[in-house]
Structure 1
Amino acid sequence: MQAYVYKSLRKQDTYVYLSKRDDFAILPEPVRAPLGDLVFVLEFTLSPERRLARAEAAVVMANLQSQGFHLQFPPTQPDPMVDG
């Protein structure tokens, strides 16, 4: 399965994966509007075995198949008292 990744220029470290290149019409307006402009950053073949930095491939694939898109939000800030 091909995945097309776009970076939000308005929301730092927020990415949108699409199942079809430049198919922004698939995004519901309440999802699309806060993201602002989206810039293409990457195309790759997604498989269940593929390791992704901040998401599980199976989850991304399921979202792409069911909705046509997947949102990747920035990681939460670690608590230095707990994680440090």
Structure 2
Amino acid sequence: MKRICSIYRSPLKREMYLYVLKADALRRVPEGLLAAFGAPQHAFDLVLSEERALAREDIHKVLENLDRQGFHLQMPPAEEEYIQHLPEELLRMNDPL
């Protein structure tokens, strides 16, 4: 079954995203989560189905959370992941164009 989903980014936490069913908007997201997330910034809408792969999330878990609780929260990657890529990113930043 396909679902139309809206993805929001957090203004407070880099790479934190909130997935909700577009028809429900943010109505099913608990107030406490919204307070910790910050004012959601709409990133884009997406059609989700079991056949669609997501870069950092398990599509089955996302769809299950959308059905069960009305939202899915994508947490930022662990800090170690940032650190592993840091030298590469610094080298690219210092590369002359």
Which residue is 2:92 aligned to?
Answer: none
Higher Rg: 2
Identity %: 36
Q: Secondary structure at the match of 1:74?
A: coil
Letter in 1 for 2:34: R
Q: Are residue 45 (structure 1) and residue 47 (structure 2) matched?
A: yes
Q: Deviations over 1:10-61 (max 9, x none)?
A: 1211100001357223111221101111111111110111111110111000
Which residue is 2:13 aligned to?
Answer: 11
After TM superposition, the structure 1 stretch with the greater mean CA deviation from structure 2, 23-32 or 69-78, is: 23-32
After TM superposition, list the pairs within 5 Å mapping 1:3-82 onto structure 2.
Answer: 3-20=5-22, 23-78=25-80
Q: Secondary structure at the match of 2:54?
A: coil
Aligned-pair CA distance for 1:9: 0.5
Q: CA RMSD in A?
A: 1.7
Moved over 6 A (4+): none
TM-score by length of 1: 0.84
TM-score by length of 2: 0.74
Unaligned runs of at least 5 residues, structure 1: none
Unaligned runs of at least 5 residues, structure 2: 84-97
Distance 1:22 1:10, change over 3 A: farther
Aligned-pair CA distance for 1:78: 2.6
